[in-house]
Chain A
Amino acid sequence: MGVSHLGFIVAAYAVAALTIGAMIAWVVLDGRRLNAELARATRALDGARRGAKGARP
């Protein structure tokens, strides 16, 4: 096997590893961000509901 061919093999595995890594990172980081955002939105809703209850005569 020539060195140049080794370079092609290494490059192919590197491209695949980087792309798969990017796909995993996208899904995991998006999930974390959304979970945090949902917690924030739920707190905002609870706060609004408590405020509405308190404001009722």
Chain B
Amino acid sequence: MVNLANPTAFVELTRRVLPWLAAATTALFVIGLWLSFAAPPDYQQGETVKIMYLHVPAAWMATFVYAVMTASALGTLVWRHPLADVAQKAAAPLGAGFTFICLATGSLWGKPMWGTYWVWDARLTSVLVLFILYLGLIALWRAIDDPGRAAKAVAILTLVGAVDLPIIKFSVDWWNTLHQPASVFRLGGPTIAPELLWPLIVMALAFTCLFLTLHLMAIRNEILRRRIARVTMLAAVEGDRLAPGLAAGGA
């Protein structure tokens, strides 16, 4: 069993796992895109339903990544896992990216279907709040120099922001919204035709694998960043130790 709390062991594990994950991501995207373009048009929306194969997986990932960050925040504050804050920091830009795809594709889907790019409806607004939360967390990481203090502040803000996740999920049930209600993850099963559902599932798996691949790479990068800081500090200490000796020798 690999000790995942050990950064060196974790980096070694990612080195072995990443090529397989990257290959699976590529294969799933190729299959998913092929199925998406081969899928029949929707009886109401026509070919614009093709935007769903990007918009819905991106929306799922936007909330899933935040859920991962919430678990990492608990890992930082409660269990003090050495890689929890690293995982959280690495996930934020990816979550922001998926949320941006969700908002942009939703807007491009909304114009032909609703007649408008944007409406201040509960679902759209709560997802916009999620995007702003991601940007705020990234900014907070950069604003505090001490990584330990930054990790705690970001973890607390992440936990506070987690209240947005159920609001996003249930906004279409709690309020009267222009956005359609849940049609896949709902009691009673999906209401989407299987010809449209299968490409959606494959694309969702592709987005999930993409996140896992990029997240592992970003975690590895963050471990490298901290290693560089440590090595640079050690070099400075060695230099300081050398400097008095040289000064004494020169005197």
Q: Chain A interface (Cβ within 8 Å of chain B)?
A: 1, 4-6, 8-9, 11-13, 15-16, 19-20, 22-24, 26-28, 30-31, 34-35, 37-38, 41-42, 44-45, 47-49, 51-52, 55-56
Query: In the complex, what distance in Å separates the CA atom of A51 from the CA atom of B47?
Result: 69
A49 proximity list for chain B (CB < 8 A): 238
> Mind listing 8 A-B residue pairs with CB under 8 Å?
A12-B51, A12-B108, A19-B97, A20-B97, A23-B214, A41-B232, A44-B232, A48-B242
**A-B contact number at CB 8 A:** 107
A54: min CB distance to chain B, Å:
9
A15: min CB distance to chain B, Å:
5
Q: Which of B97-112 contact A (CB under 8 A)?
A: 97, 100-101, 104-105, 108-109, 111-112
Query: In the complex, what distance in Å separates the CA atom of A21 from the CA atom of B112?
Result: 26
Residue picked from B48, B97, B238, most chain A C-beta under 10 Å: B238
| Cβ-defined partner of A8 (8 Å) among B41, B51, B241, B242 | B51
Q: Chain B interface (Cβ within 8 Å of chain A)?
A: 41, 46-48, 50-51, 54-55, 58, 93-94, 97, 100-101, 104-105, 108-109, 111-112, 210, 214, 217-218, 220-221, 224-225, 227-228, 231-232, 234-235, 238-239, 241-242, 245-246, 249
Q: Provide the main secondary structure of the chain B interface.
A: helix
Q: Is the CB of B101 within 8 A of A19?
A: yes
Q: Across the A-B interface, give the 4 residue pairs with the lowest CB-CB distance, nearest first.
A: A48-B238, A45-B235, A1-B47, A34-B224
Q: Provide the main secondary structure of the chain A interface.
A: helix
Give A46's nearest chain B residue, CB to CB.
B235
Q: Is the CB of B231 within 8 A of A27?
A: no
Query: In the complex, what distance in Å separates the CA atom of A8 from the CA atom of B100?
Result: 16
Q: Is the CB of A1 within 8 A of B238?
A: no
| Cβ-defined partner of A45 (8 Å) among B46, B100, B104, B234 | B234
Query: In the complex, what distance in Å separates the CA atom of A54 from the CA atom of B109?
Result: 69
B100 proximity list for chain A (CB < 8 A): 19
Q: Is the CB of B101 within 8 A of A38?
A: no
Query: In the complex, what distance in Å separates the CA atom of A47 from the CA atom of B239?
Result: 9
Query: In the complex, what distance in Å separates the CA atom of A51 from the CA atom of B245?
Result: 10
A23: min CB distance to chain B, Å:
5
Given contacts A5-B112, A9-B50, list 18 more A-B pairs with CB under 8 A.
A1-B46, A5-B48, A11-B108, A15-B101, A15-B104, A16-B104, A19-B100, A19-B104, A22-B97, A23-B97, A27-B221, A31-B220, A34-B224, A37-B224, A38-B231, A41-B231, A47-B235, A51-B238
Query: In the complex, what distance in Å separates the CA atom of A34 from the CA atom of B90?
Result: 14
Q: Is the CB of A12 within 8 A of B235?
A: no
Q: Is the CB of A45 within 8 A of B228?
A: no
B7: min CB distance to chain A, Å:
13
